Chain A
Amino acid sequence: MNRLEPGQLWVMRIHAAIFAGVALAAGLAAGFGFHEGFGTPVWLPAAVVLVLLSYPLLIAPGRHWRAWGYEKGDRELAVAHGVLRQVHTVVPYGRVQHIDVAQGPIERSFGVTRLVLHTAGTAHSQVVLPGLRRETAEALRDEIREYIRQEPA
């Protein structure tokens, strides 16, 4: 299984940090509220939030990043992800309806792109593969496109 680009790990960390920042702000706000109401120290809720955040902020991004993987076959793409619930999905190229290569602002600054394969399916109609170098994603897209052109489903 191919790992994702290290840049994606930073993207995940920043996503986690943004979430942590919001939670911390909420904790601080609650801290002032509780201070008014019950006389608890202002920093207490924020400290609790910080302790609770240690997993999603420090450990989870790395574990999630390591759980991702993909493997390119000659007729199908296999994508694995998930920490608690590990999912391994195989998408035959012939089933791909259309392909997106997407990049958000954070992803752009770390030089990674997302490949999104759309199938006609119901439960897994979108198979997302993040953390690819732009060239890798585009090469994959072109290969799948070429396959579809030669063998229409």
Chain B
Amino acid sequence: MSGDTVADRRLHPATVPVRFLKDAPSTVLGLPAIAGFVSNVGVGRVLIFVGIAAAALIFFSWLSWYRFKYGVGAHEIVIEKGLLNRSRRSIPFDRIQDVDIERGPLARLFGLAKLKIETGAGGKDEGALDSVSVAEAERLRTALRHRGATIDASDDAAAAPRVPPIFAMDIGRVLLSGLFNFSLVFIAGLYAALQPLQNILPFTIEDFALWLGFTEDRLLSGAALPIIAAGLVLAGLLGVIAGVARTLARDYGFTLTLEPEGLRRVRGLFTRTEVMIPRRRVQLGLIESGPLRRRLGWLTLNVQTLSGESKDKGRQALAPLATEAEIVPILSAIGDLALPGDGAFVPVSRRHVLKGIVYNLPPAIGVSIAGLFFPPAWLLLLLFPLTVVGTILERRTHGYRLAGGLLHVRRGWWKQRLWIVPVKRAQTISVSRDWLQRRLGLATLLVDTAGAAMMSDPRIVDMRAEEAVALAAAIRRGLRG
């Protein structure tokens, strides 16, 4: 059956120079530079090395381009590649889950696009055409999508007039969103990345600290407090800048459009990515908000989708920074999801606080004993009331609501999360009770859903045990439809 499809198309010829430019820094410049450095030969010879390496690289790029062919048949797309080991891969249309288009800065310069075909088999590079012209990418995507699993689309998406986006972020919104994405981790990463480059950089990182006045004797003298404060302010400032820069690169020109088969998201400053999120693959919605964002009325909407293994594929941002009024139409466009109605959330048991206190007792006792030998350890006991206050606040915000086939779970007082789980998407339902929970008559309920793991799942911790059993039964009834 397969095998009749002819692979008669090649990638765009500009792929060769693009690949060359991409690989050049490491191959053409890196290797001869190391050779020159190690063997101490003259500049002329190094240049000859560079020339040879460049020629070889161009030749091999061209060869792999020449040997790469693809073709679209009646039921499948076929990719043939390999210099010596020829491989022929055929991907049947009805196995194609998703077709994404990605355009890096170089590709955009040459008018190219990388087409990624995903089958849900969970491997990377299931089928990638790197790169074809933008028009070809669009043509292929429509062809693959419409002959694939989604046949219901009657009109040609490429020919259809551009619909206005259901959600878009202008530059101001992207910058604002960046302000909330304050990131010190990024700076730590940058610092770590700079360490090996110490020898090459015109300044050393320690010098930089020296400029700021971080010398050991000054630190020890105690006169360094204002300097430390200035350093903290600077670190904070850098964190804000890093957050804004990262968000700008990722979310610039964020638009979400509604199409027959799902939502199409386009974003990115340097690398433009275009992702299709089919409605039926959305497993759950997660609305997040930090303390400051919440006060200002800003929310973040993510959805978990059934997808391959890669971690960022399973979780898709549908609105990095939006108001509730903007989120409602996005949710209704997905169809299965909605914000909780007017009814109240059922809070978890008050004993949740008691459990928190009991769990914090052993460390508190340990610290008290340690304090007998080392009095400053007593200070750590101050953390105990703080965690108790945290648990009380946590219990106040933690609750659930089951109505209309949707399970809403709310949790967190600092970073508030609201999960929206369509009951029909439940994979398994489990009720668990640890030793203390059994003594307190509590239970934890988890409705497991498909897709990549999010940072946290919609578990309801410490409901009354009977209530958990009843809720599990209600969800099971909902599953039966």
Residues of A participating in the B interface, judged by any CB pair closer than 8 Å: 75-76, 82, 84-92, 94-95, 119-125, 127
Contact = CB atoms under 8 A, between A and B. Distances in A.
Nearest to B446: A123
Contact of A121 (B433, B434, B448): B448
B467 interface: no
A120 B314 CA distance: 12
A94 B423 CA distance: 13
A92 B476 contact: yes
Nearest to B451: A122
Contacts of B428: 89-92, 95, 119, 121, 124, 127
A64 to B, nearest CB: 15
A12 B480 CA distance: 36
Interface in B441-462: 446, 448-453, 457
Contacts of A127: 428
B204 interface: no
Interface residues of B, number: 24
21 contacts: A75-B480, A85-B435, A86-B434, A87-B430, A87-B431, A88-B431, A88-B472, A90-B472, A91-B428, A95-B426, A95-B428, A119-B448, A119-B450, A120-B427, A121-B427, A121-B449, A122-B448, A122-B452, A123-B453, A125-B427, A125-B448
A120 B281 CA distance: 12
B432 interface: yes
A94 B451 CA distance: 17
A116 B203 CA distance: 59
Contacts of B446: 123-124
Nearest to B438: A86
A127 B429 CA distance: 11
Query: Which 6 pairs of residues, A with B, have the shortest CB-CB distance?
Result: A121-B427, A120-B450, A121-B448, A89-B430, A87-B432, A85-B434
B411 to A, nearest CB: 16
A123 B448 contact: yes
A90 B432 contact: no
Interface of B: 306, 426-435, 438, 446, 448-453, 457, 472, 476, 479-480
A94 to B, nearest CB: 8
Given A90-B428, A91-B428, A123-B453, A84 B434 contact: yes
A76 B453 CA distance: 24
Contacts of A124: 427-428, 430, 446, 448
Contacts of A122: 448-453, 457
Contacts of A84: 434-435
A87 B472 CA distance: 13
A67 B434 CA distance: 13
Contact of B432 (A76, A86, A94, A120): A86
A92 B476 CA distance: 8
Contacts of B476: 76, 90, 92
Nearest to A119: B427
A120 B457 CA distance: 15
Contacts of A91: 427-428
Given A122-B448, A122-B451, A123-B448, A92 B426 contact: yes
A129 to B, nearest CB: 13
A85 to B, nearest CB: 4
A122 B309 CA distance: 11
Contacts of A121: 427-428, 448-450
A127 B426 CA distance: 14
Nearest to A96: B427
Interface centre among B427, B433, B449, B457 (most CB of A within 10 A): B427
B410 to A, nearest CB: 19
Given A76-B476, A84-B434, A84-B435, A89 B429 contact: yes
Interface centre among A88, A89, A120, A121 (most CB of B within 10 A): A121
Given A76-B476, A86-B434, 19 more contacts: A75-B480, A85-B434, A86-B438, A87-B430, A87-B431, A88-B430, A90-B428, A90-B430, A90-B472, A92-B476, A92-B479, A120-B306, A121-B427, A121-B449, A122-B448, A122-B453, A124-B427, A124-B430, A127-B428
Contacts of B450: 119-122
A36 to B, nearest CB: 33
A86 B433 contact: yes
Nearest to A83: B435
